[in-house]
Amino acid sequence: MNKVISIEIASQVFWVDEEAYEILQAYLKRIRQQLVDDECANEIFKDIELRVAELLYALNNDEKKAIIATQMNDVIDQVGLIDSEEPETELPRKSYLDPQNKILGGVCAGLAVRLGVSAFILRLIFIALTAAFGLGVVLYLIFWISLDTNSNRNAALAA
> pTM, whole model, 2 decimals?
0.49
The span from the CA of 109 to the CA of 107, in Å, is 6
pLDDT band (50, 70, 90) for residue 128: very high
pLDDT band (50, 70, 90) for residue 158: low
Domain layout of the chain by residue ranges: 4-79, 96-158
pLDDT per residue as tens digits for the range 54-99:
888 887 665 667 888 888 888 888 888 776 555 555 655 677 777 7
How much is the pLDDT for 124? 93
Phi-psi region of 113 (alpha: psi -120 to 50; beta: other; left: phi over 0): alpha
Q: Which residues of 115-125 are buried (b: 16+ CB within 10 A; e: fewer)?
A: eeeebeebbee
The span from the CA of 5 to the CA of 112, in Å, is 55
pLDDT per residue as tens digits for the range 17-37:
889 899 999 998 988 888 888
Closest by CA to 24, choosing from 83, 86, 68, is 68
